[in-house]
Amino acid sequence: MLDILADRLSLDLQTVQDFVLDSPSLAPFDDFFAKGGCKTISFVYQMSDIPGVECGRSFTGTAKRAKILRLFLADLSQTCLTGVCCFFVRTRLDSPVNPDSVHKEIYFSMLDATDGILKGTCNLLSKFLLPSLNAAQDWGGINKSQHGEKLKQNFKDTLKRSITFLDSKIESVVHFNIPTDVDYSKLILLDDLKAAAADVDMVQRLEQILKQWFERIEQVLTESDQVRREADSAGPLTELEFWKRKSVKFNSIINHIRSPECQAVVMVLFVNGSKTLKMWRKLDAQITERTNEAKDNAKFLGALEEACQPLYNSDPCTMAKSVQHLISVIQMIHSVSRYYYTCKNITRLFAKVTNQMLTACRAHITDNGTRQIWDQDAEDVIKKIQVWVTRNMNLIRTSLSLWLKSSILRFVFCHVVYYYTKRKVPLQPVSPLKISDHQYYMFRRFIKLCKIYKIYKIFP
């Protein structure tokens, strides 16, 4: 164990041993190797306080209360991780660790939190766990299960989505440059604020700082107003991820606006009566509104996450049975949400739902992309097509007719019926929502699916 730590941290073995012996107790080692003991043991390598005299050795040449880079046994629930965490995990606890099979019973990994715990977790999942899962052959009883491959793929897809979300969250945070030539801690008391406001040079410097932050926020707003670029096959969960990213981005701006440094600058300029505050307050109001919109949309779309899982993880038969619940959630969002109820947003969401339904259909017909229809038995392909187009669309049509009450969703129902039964169902008036402008966008991929009948007809 110590050899592994020395190798991974590029330390010599004696140094690792000395650091470990600095611990007030070695009981965690006994607990880790014992029957029914602890499942993990963790070591942290980061800047930390110098051990007390009870460790048995002295650290000469270091100032009082100084910190040094050292390795120590850590209780992660009580440790603020800012460096590297090395941890060992046991696979079973029903017996003591066997020295002969220790390489099978204990696994080692590292979490580098030097750039933040979130970044470290994302790297651990993407660079270690996911590749290990992809390379794993023995999945136990899952390999013998009828749907084993699908279960494994669903698990991997869920992990990939989690990694993508973590990565996007890291990238979404807006960073601000905080100049260090101003002592913000001295701009708190009223007398200090008045003195700073009377200093012309100080006011000019603070106005310059505020303008830099203003330009950075304006840049973020401009980027967020740009046209979204997404794949034509994007599913409904991408909508949730989009608003989560926006929520993180605008929240980071709000956190900066409420930071002591920003508040100090604003208060000095307020006391001075600076004209730059007028545009700053206007921008502050815009950011607050955008933040509320992103949080509100992410909250309501979060209700879709569970309802959409059958679209990603189920076969068409199972998926169709969940459509009724999915439609009711969309109806709730349209009726209750403060921001997301608009025609444009609901249209985009429904288009993404249909995209994922078609993706599931394609995966079902092609056995998750492993076989083309021309490589399969004709009767099997026809059966799959019939199951999807007839039975499933009947269920979907029934769900729509029962649950869609608003004008926008009645429009969806009428067109689904029209395109799949070839009957012209009279449309309800939808002019107040101007849905017709988005008709093709919502149903273009559904319309293309009708061409599957042509494939059906050419089979003998």
- pLDDT tens digit string along 103-140? 888 889 999 998 888 889 888 888 888 888 888 887 87
Structural domain boundaries in the chain: 1-114, 116-133+149-172, 173-306, 314-460
Q: Is the pLDDT of residue 401 over 60?
A: no
Neighbours of 219 (CB within 10 A): 11
Mean pLDDT, the chain, rounded, equals: 80
Q: Per-residue pLDDT tens for 23-70?
A: 877 888 888 888 888 899 999 999 888 776 666 666 665 666 678 888
Q: Is the pLDDT of residue 408 over 70?
A: no
Residues in the chain: 460
> Phi and psi of 172, rounded to 5°?
-80, -20
Q: Which alpha helices (H) appear in 366-435, and where do they start and end? A: 378-386, 393-403, 407-421
Residue 344 has pLDDT above 60, yes or no: yes
390 vs 156, more confident? 156
Q: Are 40 and 88 in contact (CB under 8 A)?
A: yes
Q: Is the pLDDT assigned to residue 395 strictly greater than 80?
A: no
Side by side, the strands of the sheet bearing 84-90 are: 67-73, 40-49, 84-90, 106-112
Q: What is the pLDDT of residues 373-385, one digit of tens each?
A: 778 887 777 777 7
Mean pLDDT within 172-178: 89
User: Predicted confidence band at 328 (pLDDT cuts at 50, 70, 90)?
Assistant: confident
Nearest to 95 by CA among 106, 111, 84: 106
pLDDT in tens, 209-254: 999 999 999 999 998 888 788 877 788 888 998 999 999 999 999 9
- Dump pLDDT digits (tens) for 263-311: 999 999 999 999 899 999 999 999 999 999 999 999 999 888 888 888 8
Q: What is the pLDDT of residue 229?
A: 81
CA distances from 351 to 92, 184, 230, 361 (A): 47, 50, 12, 15
151 pLDDT band, cuts 50/70/90, is confident
- 368, 153 in Cβ contact below 8 A? yes
pLDDT value of residue 247: 92
User: What integer is the mean pLDDT of 429-445?
Assistant: 47
Q: Quick one: pLDDT at residue 402?
A: 45
Helix (H) or strand (E) holding 42: strand 40-49
The mean pLDDT of 89-105, rounded to a whole number, is 84
Q: Give residue 303's pLDDT.
A: 87
β-pairing, 84-90 with 40-49?
A: antiparallel
Mean pLDDT of 142-167: 80
Local structure of residue 83 (DSSP, 8 states) = S
CA 430 to mean position of chain CA atoms: 36
User: CA angle 453-458-460, nearest 5°?
Assistant: 125
CA-nearest of 383, 436, 425 to 400 is 425
Q: What is the mean pLDDT of residues 323-339?
A: 84
| Beta-carbon count within 10 A of 365 CB | 22
Per-residue model confidence (pLDDT) at position 104:
82
Confidence check: pLDDT of 7 > 50: yes
| pLDDT score at 393 | 57
pLDDT, mean of residues 168-191: 88
